[in-house]
Chain A
Amino acid sequence: GNSVTQMEGPVTLSEEAFLTINCTYTATGYPSLFWYVQYPGEGLQLLLKATKADDKGSNKGFEATYRKETTSFHLEKGSVQVSDSAVYFCALLNTGGFKTIFGAGTRLFVKA
C-alpha cells in the first residue's frame, strides 16, 4: 500500500542553520508529493509540491526535489528563522486518487 515515512522530531536548530527533514515514500504508480506546514494553533497549509520525478518544489526559501530512484522528497532550507518553528508533514497523493497519505509530522524548533 501507499505510505510516507519522515524523520522523527523534534528537530532543534539555531537561527540561520541549515535544515533537512527526510521523507521517503512507498507508492504504486506515480504520485504527487507535498510538504504541508502547521504553525502553532492553526490548520495545515500547503508549503510546496512536486508532481513528477525530478521536479523541484519551492516556496518561502524551502525546497524539495522529487527523487523517484530513491523514493524520497527531502525538505531543505538554507537558513532557518525563528518564524519557521512549526510541524512539517510530508504527504503523497496517488494518480487518480483523492485520499492524501500523510506522514507523522516532524516538529521543528528554531532558537534565536
Chain B
Amino acid sequence: NAGVTQTPKFRVLKTGQSMTLLCAQDMNHEYMYWYRQDPGMGLRLIHYSVGEGTTAKGEVPDGYNVSRLKKQNFLLGLESAAPSQTSVYFCASSQGQSSYNEQFFGPGTRLTVL
C-alpha cells in the first residue's frame, strides 16, 4: 500500500498562473481533505469530500476549487495563483463516519507563488 500520495512535491508559480495538485489514496477511504500549513498557523482545512462526487468548503476555501470524480482521487485547483497561497499543502484521507477514525496524510506539496 502506498497510502496517500501527492504530486507534485514542489512547484513554483508566477502570480496569475493556474495549477492542479493531485492526491491519491489506495485505502478505499470515503473521506478526503485538503489542508494548508503556514508557519505559526497550524493546519487549516481548505476543502473536503465525504464521498465520490461530493465536495464541501472548509475554513479557508477562497481561491481554491476541488473535484472528486473518482473515490481514490481528490484534486485541488488554483485558478489564478496569488502570493498569499504560498504554503505547504497536505492531503489526507479517513475511513467512514466514526469518531475512532484517524486521518492519513500525504507527504505534502510545497508551493511558492512569486
User: Which A residues have a C-beta under 8 Å from some C-beta of B?
Assistant: 30-32, 34, 36, 41-46, 49, 51, 89, 93-100, 102-105
Contacts and interface: CB of A to CB of B under 8 A. Distances in A.
A32 B64 CA distance: 30
Interface string B38-82: 001111010010100000001000000000000000000000000
Nearest to B44: A102
B99 A44 contact: no
A98 B50 contact: yes
Contacts of A89: 42-43
Nearest to A105: B42
Q: How big is the B interface, by class?
A: 20 to 34
A96 B100 contact: no
Task: Determine the main DSSP class of A at the interface with B.
Answer: loop
Nearest to B96: A98
Interface centre among A43, A45, A46 (most CB of B within 10 A): A43
Contacts of A44: 43, 90, 92, 103, 105
Nearest to B50: A98
A93 B107 contact: no
Contacts of B58: 99
Interface centre among A51, A98, A105 (most CB of B within 10 A): A98
A104 B37 CA distance: 10
B100 A45 contact: no
Interface centre among A41, A95, A99, A102 (most CB of B within 10 A): A99
A80 B103 CA distance: 25
A13 B101 CA distance: 32
Contact of A43 (B48, B90, B97, B102): B90
A104 B40 contact: yes
Contact of B99 (A45, A46, A95): A95
Contacts of B42: 89, 102-105
Contacts of A97: 97, 99
Interface centre among B33, B43, B99 (most CB of A within 10 A): B99
A100 B98 CA distance: 11
